[in-house]
Amino acid sequence: MKNKQGFSLLEVLLAVFLLEIGLLAVASFYSYSMQVTKYARNQTTAANLAQGILDEELSITYENLPIGTSTKERYSLDASSPFYNWEKQVSVTYIDLNLTEQSFDTNMKKIIVTIFFQESGTEKSIQTASIKARH
């Protein structure tokens, strides 16, 4: 009988092939997880920016809160800001007790803040809203 020491070429090729499949799976998972992380980061940033603007709008007195929709504008005018490419829009409308929009003063205003951002070449947005009542 012959003493066998080491691996045959076929065994080595099979082991390399299996290792390569495993590494490709890990690499594709890493790429996917990076995309999901970026998406979650953008969603969280947009929600925080929208909440900040909503808080500013809520700090305005009922009488001084203008009705209408602002034009979509850059969140920051500073080109070095990380939010330079993000945009914001604020909409204020009268609403009734059923939360239906009205064209006359009902002593309640609905404030909607929309933040726009780019995600993989597509414009995405997130909205937050609140109600301001006359006291």
Q: What is the pLDDT of residue 95?
A: 97
- 83, 117 contact by CB (below 8 A): no
pTM: 0.77
101-102 and 122-133 as β-strands: parallel, antiparallel, unpaired? unpaired
Residue 3 reports pLDDT greater than 80:
no
Residue 6 reports pLDDT greater than 80:
no
Q: What is the mean pLDDT of residues 100-109?
A: 95
Q: Please, which pLDDT band fits residue 1 given cuts at 50, 70 and 90?
A: low
1-5, 52-56, 61-65: the lowest-pLDDT one: 1-5
68-69 and 87-95 as β-strands: parallel, antiparallel, unpaired? antiparallel
- Name the more confident of 72 and 31: 72
Strands, E assignment, 9-121: 68-69, 73-74, 87-95, 101-102, 108-119
Class of residue 108 by CB neighbours under 10 A (exposed 0-12, middle 13-18, buried 19+): middle
Round the average pLDDT of the chain to a whole number and report it: 91
Name the token pair of 25.
């799976």
What are the CA-CA distances from residue 98 to residues 5, 75, 82, 108 (Å)? 83, 32, 39, 11
d(CA 130, CA 126): 14
